[in-house]
Amino acid sequence: MTRLDTWLERLGNRWFFYGWLIVFSSFTSSMINAGTGSYALGFFIIPMGEEIGISRTQFSVIPIFKLATIPILPLLGLLVDRRHGGRIIVSVGSLVGGTALAFTSQIDKVWQFYMLYGIIYGFGTAAMGSQLVGPSLMAKWFVRMRGRAMAVGTMGISAGGVVVAPVAGLAISTLGWRAAWVVLGMMAVVAIVPVSSLFLRRSPEDIGLLPDGNTSDSNAEVTADIEVNSWTLKQSIRNTQFWILLLIQCLGLSGLVVVLFHEVAYIQDKGLNIQSATLIATSLATSAMISKLPFGYLAEKMDIRRVLALCLIPAGLSTYMIIPLDSVWILVIWGVIHGFFMGGFPTLTNVALPEYFGRQYMGSIRGVIAPITMIISALSPLIAGILWEESYSYSVAFFLFGSAWIIGGLLTFTLSKPKDPPAVKNITDQKVPV
C-alpha cells in the first residue's frame, strides 16, 4: 500500500464512512456508462442515419457487438473479489471506453461504427463498472444500510439521462454528431479515471473497518443478524432462487433498455422535434433518479420480494401508456410516471442479490450473471428495431416489453425468503465473512 493510499483512506474516513466514497465512484461510473451507452445513443440514430445511411435495424444491432466482451466478464468478476482488482478494472476500462467514443467521431461506414462503438467501447463499458464492479463493491461495504447505498450509487444510471443525454443532444444540435462523440469521450475519461484510481477499495476489512461504518459491537451484531452467510458461486448457481432472480432481472432489463434505446426516435416518429424529445427523455431520467431513494428506503424496511413487485408491475403498465400519447406535455407526465417505477429497478436488483447470497463472493456471482444480462440488453433493442422495420411503429415492441416487466413482477411471488447456504447453515460464527 502506498503512502497516498493510506493518506486518502484516513482522510476519507475522518469525517464520514469511507464506503460512501465507493458509492460516489459507482455513481460517477454509472452516470457515464448509462449516459453514453443508453440514454445518449438515441440522439444519434437520426443524424447518423441521415449522413451515413445507418438504418434503425442496423443501429439496433450495435449491442450485439458488445457481446464480444462476454468471455472476459467472469474473469472481471473474479478480479473484483481481489484486493486491487476493482480500481484497476474501472480505470483501464474508462480509458479504453473514452478513447473509443472519441474515435467514433471519425467513422463514415457502418462496420467502423460496429468496431469502435460496438466492440472496443463494449470492452471499455464492461469494465467501467456500473453493472459489475460498482454493485459488487457496494454490497461488500454495506449491509444494514445497503438499500440507501445502492439507491445513491444507482442514481448515477438515471443521472446519465439527466446530465449526459442533454449534453449529447446539445452538442449534436450545436456542433454536430461527430463533435458530440468527442465530447462524450472526454467526459468518460475525466469523470471516472481520477475517482476510481484514487478511491476504489475492495472491502472495509481491507482498511481496518467494518460494513456500514460500524464502530460498536451492538451495531456489528445488528449487521450480522440481518445478513445471510455468503454463498459461493457454485452454491449460488445450484440454488433455484438464483435462477428466479436472474429471470426477473432479465425480464425487467429487457423492458428498460428498449425504452432507453428507442424512446427518442419513437417520440420523433410521433412528429415532435429533438428538443421535445430531449425534454421528455430528461423528465423520465430525472424521475428515475429521484425514485431510487424511496425504493432504496423501502428495500431496508420491507420484504425485498414485495418491493420488487411494487416496482416491476407498475413499470410495465406505464410502458403501455406511451403508445397512444402524442402531446409533448402529456408525454412529459408519462416520463415522470414511467421513470419513477423504472428507476427503482436497478437499485432493488442490486439489493436483492447480496440479500440472498451474501457479500463475499458477489464479484464472482455477478461475473456469471453479467454475460446473460448483456445478451438480453443486446437482443431487446434489436427485436424492437426489427418490429419497427416491419410496421414503421414501435407500438408492438413497447407492448411486448411492457408485458415483460409485468411477468417479472409476478415472478417475485414465487421467491422464498433468503436462507444460509446448506454447508454453513448452522455455523453462527461466520455471519460476517471477511
Residues in contact with 35: Cβ distance below 8 Å, sequence separation at least 6, in sequence order: 159, 160, 161, 163, 164, 165, 167, 168, 184, 187
Computed over its alpha carbons, how large is the radius of gyration of the chain? Answer: 21
Q: How far is CA 119 from CA 112, 348, 409, in A?
A: 10, 29, 33
Using the structure block, give the residue that is written with the C-alpha cell 454453513: 424
- Asked if 410 and 309 count as a contact pair (C-beta separation under 8 A), the reply is yes
Please tell me the distance from the alpha carbon of residue 34 to that of residue 32, in angstroms, as a whole number. 6
Classified by CATH at the fold level, domain 19-205+220-419 comes out as Growth Hormone; Chain: A; (1.20.1250)
DSSP-derived secondary structure for 262-324: HHHHHHHHTT--HHHHHHHHHHHHHHHHHHHHHHHHHHHHS-HHHHHHHHHHHHHHHHHHTTT
Q: How far from the centroid of its chain's Cα atoms is residue 225's Cα?
A: 29
pLDDT of residue 404: 95
Please tell me the distance from the alpha carbon of residue 159 to that of residue 398, in angstroms, as a whole number. 23
pLDDT of residue 434: 35
Q: 259-287: buried (b, 16+ CB within 10 Å) or exposed (e) per residue?
A: bbbbbbbbbbbeebebebbbbbbbbbbbb
**Count of beta carbons in the 10 Å neighbourhood of residue 220:** 18
CA angle 348, 353, 355 (to 5 degrees): 90
Please tell me the distance from the alpha carbon of residue 251 to that of residue 243, in angstroms, as a whole number. 12
pLDDT of residue 296: 92
Please tell me the distance from the alpha carbon of residue 46 to that of residue 24, in angstroms, as a whole number. 34
Residues in contact with 223: Cβ distance below 8 Å, sequence separation at least 6, in sequence order: 143, 144, 210, 211, 212, 214, 432
Residues in contact with 395: Cβ distance below 8 Å, sequence separation at least 6, in sequence order: 323
Please tell me the distance from the alpha carbon of residue 140 to that of residue 144, in angstroms, as a whole number. 11
pLDDT of residue 429: 41
pLDDT of residue 312: 96
* Sequential pLDDT tens for the chain (434 residues): 577 767 666 766 667 788 898 999 889 998 998 888 877 887 888 888 888 888 877 887 887 888 888 888 888 888 888 888 888 888 999 999 999 999 999 999 889 999 999 899 988 888 876 677 888 888 888 988 888 998 998 888 888 878 898 899 889 989 999 999 999 999 999 999 998 888 888 888 888 888 887 765 555 555 555 667 888 889 999 999 999 999 999 999 999 988 888 887 888 888 888 788 888 888 998 899 899 999 999 998 899 999 999 999 999 999 999 888 888 899 999 999 999 999 999 899 989 999 899 888 888 888 888 889 888 888 888 888 888 877 777 888 899 999 999 999 999 999 998 888 875 544 444 443 33
Question: Number of helices and strands (H, E) in the chain?
Answer: 21, 0
The SS3 of residue 375 is helix
Residues in contact with 361: Cβ distance below 8 Å, sequence separation at least 6, in sequence order: 81, 230, 231, 232, 233, 236
Q: How far is CA 230 from CA 25, 326, 408, in A?
A: 24, 49, 25
Q: What is the dihedral of CA 362, 29, 196, 186, to 10 degrees?
A: 150
Amino acid 77 reads G
Name the DSSP letter for residue 37. I
pLDDT of residue 341: 95
pLDDT of residue 224: 54
Q: How far is CA 426 from CA 205, 419, 422, 429, in A?
A: 24, 11, 8, 9
